[in-house]
Structure 1
């Protein structure tokens, strides 16, 4: 399981020109589910996102987590992050989990995040979404459960 997290001042996600989720200060997490990923990995990754210290303290050091600042988390399903881009001029999406597996796993991750943190919104799986955000920093990080050796 792979995520790109971005520290933001605010963000929202729209489907068919209707806002389905928004946050104020917090993290936007683009989440890719790969073949072989599990609920345990989803929990591990969500726990890491919530505790990852990317917000600045009074000394301007990245010392505070999303939980510390009580910020929002906007989860966006994004299978394209799982693409194999090692060769050729077109990405291969073979490493991505099938929608039948990825959708319930994404929904599990979203509900687990809300259970752990509360201030959580998410995008719609397999929808054409428009995500708007204001990067803060920018501060962008890649987190990977990396349990498959890839």
Structure 2
């Protein structure tokens, strides 16, 4: 079909385009994951302000401190009760890793394909006159 010729004739462009799309998906997905858990929300400020202030000395109501933290586990005040794991933080880190690994794989594969295409282009797309000129220059 005709549309397959477009991909074959401009393979380097399409690999670069695919790599750029993967990078954008990763960046915006990572920002979404950060917004999901790392930024203090009204729920977090009401429930976690006092424990964070007592245990870590972090006051999340002060915006000027630049507080951005992922709370994985909240210690309980009662030693007989176990610590509470925060599922939104674990989900956020899982999202970030799930987006990161395929994005890295796509970027690396596309970069290798582009390098391979450039190496092939250097050796095979040269006209006979250019090849003869190069041989004369190398002698």
The interval holding the TM-score normalised by the smaller chain is: under 0.3
Flag the structure with higher strand content: 1
Flag the structure with higher helix content: 2
Higher relative contact order (CA 8 A, sep 6+): 1
Decide which structure has the larger Cα Rg and report it.
2
